[in-house]
Amino acid sequence: MIYIIILVVVVALIFGPQWWARFTFRRYHKKLDRLQGTGGELARHLLDRFGMSEVKVEKTDPNADHYDPSSRVVRLSPENFDNKSLTAVAVAAHEVGHAIQHHRKEPLLAWRGRLAVFANLVQKLGAAAMVGIPIVTAISRAPSLGIALFIIGIGTMLMATIVHLITLPVEFDASFNKALPILEEGYVEAEDIPKVRRILRAAALTYLAGSMASLLNLWRWIAILRR
């Protein structure tokens, strides 16, 4: 029974934030004619307003909204790019918030970008180390070498989790120190502000789901090696 409870808790921690975010996005995705424009139009307007006319706004894959600092592009999913909904404008403002962070050269965003590149590299090395443990141990007949590779693999794969945890303050800043004050200036009605807060919180917490998913991947490798 205790194992079932633990499993339920782990699943809730890993998938709960993602499910809740998607539920929130769908809940406020209804078209509202009282809004001044679509998510794509708002993103373009805000970028021009804050002196970032060189930053592009593009349509991307569903559920793949993000700001790309290397290409200087705000990418919005079709449902947010073309739609006049609270979800569309809130997500658009959130991604523009990242563009503002980049434009102002805020250090935490820059640090996250550098760390993400490093983490991607070491995570691949960690996966290679985990795969190589049985082979190296069998060839060398040295269990200590296998243990060393295991420690290296675990340490490097934890980098993905660290990156996501560092991402959380960046995401909350984009939502509540950038997007929300902007939207409160009259881009949405006062009655809609509590709903926008929920959407922006969901947008920030999608990265918590990524952090939990990286831990699940780490647990999967440990389970495989225990067989």
Tens digit of each residue's pLDDT (9 = 90 or more) over 70-94 = 999 999 999 999 999 999 999 999 9
- Tokens 């007949």, located at residue: 141
Q: What is the pLDDT of residue 8?
A: 67
Q: How confident is the model at residue 57 (pLDDT cuts 50, 70, 90)?
A: very high
181 phi, psi to nearest 5 deg = -60, -35
CB count within 10 Å of CB 223 equals: 9
**Between β-strands 66-68 and 56-59, what pairing exists: parallel, antiparallel or unpaired?**
unpaired
Instruction: Name the residue type at position 31.
Output: K
- Residue 112's H or E segment, with its range, is helix 107-140
Q: What is the mean pLDDT of residues 108-134?
A: 73
CA dihedral 144, 148, 151, 152 (to 10 degrees): -170
Q: Is the dihedral of CA 77, 81, 82, 86 positive or negative?
A: positive
11-25, 70-84, 150-164: range with lowest mean pLDDT: 150-164
> Are the CB atoms for 49 and 96 separated by under 8 Å?
no
pLDDT for residue 188: 97
Q: Which region holds residue 72: left if phi is over 0, alpha if psi is between -120 and 50, else beta?
A: left
Q: How many CA atoms lie within 13 A of 77 on its CB side?
A: 13
- Residue 81 to residue 27: CA distance in whole angstroms: 17
- Contact 39/91 with Cβ under 8 angstroms? yes
User: Does 206 score more than 70 pLDDT?
Assistant: yes
Strand extents, DSSP E, the chain: 56-59, 66-68, 73-76
Q: Taking residues 47-74, what's their average pLDDT?
A: 96
Identify residue 85 by its one-letter amino acid code: S
pLDDT-based confidence at residue 212 (cuts at 50, 70, 90): low
Range name among 92-106, 159-173, 193-207 with the lowest pLDDT average = 159-173
CA angle, 205 as apex, 199 and 206 as ends, to 5°? 95
CA neighbor of 86 nearest in space, from 7, 33, 136, 128:
33
